[in-house]
Amino acid sequence: MCGIAAVHDPSGRLDPTPVGMLDALTHRGPDERDHRRVGACAWLGHTRLSIVDLDGGGQPLGGPDGWTLVCNGEIYNHAELRAELGEHEFGTRSDSEAALVLLRRRGPAALGGLRGMWALCAAAPDGGFLAARDPLGIKPLYWAEVGGARYFASELRALPVAVQAAAEAFPPGCCWTPERGLVRFAEAVPVRTESPDWSQLPGEVAEKATREVLIDSVRGHLMSDVEVGVFLSGGLDSSIVAAIAAAERAEDGGRLRTFAVGTEGSPDLIAARAAARHLGTEHHEMVFDAEQALAAVDEVVASVESFDASLIRSAIPNWFLARLASEHVKVVLTGEGADELFAGYGHYHGSSAGDLDAELRRALGDLHGLNLQRCDRVTMAHGLEARVPFLDAEVIAHAMSLPAGCKELDDGFEKAHLRRAFAGWLPEELLWRRKLQFGTGSGAQETLAPKLESLATAAELDAADAPVRTREELAYYRAFRRALPRVRPEAVLTRFATA
């Protein structure tokens, strides 16, 4: 996991070299930093959090033909790509080098063959340049065009102040080259070409397939040369991830580390303790109060680079959680994405089969500006990498091949199919625990919202020249403006893009 920055300027006016962009990304990669000018038109910069190939995986990565790459993320199928492309093409054990070799050998159209989470920029001495982002936008990338030059960075704050007003999110599943402009290479929801007609098979068959594809994904997401932990809220999704990861660690003779936060007596803390006891993990927790949460608001808003109330409210406990985990591990797995795959939110239900499928696809496509943005930023603020096994391409393809009947409420419980798939892996009271959103379950909403509401009056909300909906959101907006005064609200709120 890293921070990347790049500039492509066909005029060649890259003097002075924009090294200052990396200063704003040090938190994303505290272990190393490097940069390189490539030809007359491009500059690539990188800050590194060392996870795979600790000694030899520094970036920018160069190829024998001069193509050079910086990549933020993880390529989970890099071993398979090495075998397919030929080990002689590689000079390191870095998973990111698989992206470079794939691009050199097969071009941008092959990017859909990368299984993982990533954003990258690559350049060649002859002026060739490419920027691309994974199909879901799990990893962030922003860009801006000013005076014919294009700027790219993992976070808005890393873009030069003079270009921030032109910044916007780089679209997931797309690549950009000077020759062809913006081209889509993959959709958020991949199509599984060979999928059974689940409606004609016993429910146990589909449940077994769901269990197996998730086990395979978690196993792949444990790829690392450093220890991997799990964010454990005590909810269904994180508990399933922890159960699989704990079993994998036990097979290797190790013990999984899990992490939880909340206010005193909050439901998530209590449930997480029970899950950790059952799984035998080395469990760590932190209890925060209203004063600590309020004191963190400015830093959280600056890190997340948004002012959406639901996003920031859940980001605050996540920020404390990431800080706690970073004291023990460099990588964590999370349960993000399960609700969008298996219809975990109440508003999904009551829809027809076709409407539900369309709504879940829309939700998956919006994740890059919502939960995934929060997940990436609060973890990287503390030099911690977060991985999302529910959002592996194979898991998505499988889950979206299931009929709507697998995702309907069962006796009032959402995600009943997923619960049944992991029967026996967790105690019944945890397996069938009713869903609470993280901001609620951690106690953050009840603790923080009244205090934030008091920071703005109803009259101030009515008079606000800002796209805010509540007094709480106005408080977040003010913090956002303090951190990023030139960034347009449209660049950071998904609700503008989908309105």
For 190, list phi and psi in degrees, rounded to 5: -70, 155
**Distance between CA 103 and CA 96 in Å, rounded?**
11
Other CB atoms within a 10 A radius of the CB of residue 391 amount to: 27
**Distance between CA 278 and CA 196 in Å, rounded?**
35
User: Residues 148-168: pLDDT tens digits?
Assistant: 999 999 999 999 999 999 999
User: Residues 342-365: pLDDT tens digits?
Assistant: 999 988 988 787 899 999 999 999
Q: Is the pLDDT of residue 497 over 60?
A: no
Q: What would you measure as the largest C-alpha separation in the chain, in angstroms? A: 67
Residue % of the chain over a pLDDT of 90: 79
Angle of CA points 337, 342, 344, to nearest 5° = 80
DSSP state of 265: T
Residue 498's pLDDT is 42
Q: Which residues of 78-112 are buried (b: 16+ CB within 10 A; e: fewer)?
A: beebbeebeeebbebbbbbbbbbbbbbeeebeebb
Residue 196's pLDDT is 85
Cα atoms in the Cβ-side hemisphere of radius 13 Å centred on 482: 13
Beta strands in 185-252 (DSSP E): 228-231
Catalytic residues: 2
Residue 178's pLDDT is 97
Place of tokens 């298996």: 342
User: Between 54 and 204, where is the model more confident?
Assistant: 204
> What pTM, to 2 d.p., does this model score?
0.94
Query: In 3D, which of 333, 332, 356 has the Cα closest to residue 343?
Result: 356
Q: Is the pLDDT of residue 438 over 60?
A: no
Q: What is the mean pLDDT of residues 476-499?
A: 84
Domain ranges of the chain: 2-184, 198-498
CATH topology of domain 2-184: Glutamine Phosphoribosylpyrophosphate, subunit 1, domain 1 (3.60.20)
Straight-line distance from the first to the last Cα atom of the chain, in angstroms, rounded to the nearest whole number:
32
For 117, list phi and psi in degrees, rounded to 5: -125, 130
Cα atoms in the Cβ-side hemisphere of radius 13 Å centred on 195: 19
User: Between 388 and 442, where is the model more confident?
Assistant: 388
> Which sign, positive or negative, has the C-alpha torsion 391, 379, 370, 288?
positive
DSSP state of 30: B
The CATH code for residues 198-498 is 3.40.50.620
User: Residues 246-286: pLDDT tens digits?
Assistant: 999 999 889 999 999 998 988 899 999 999 999 999 999 99
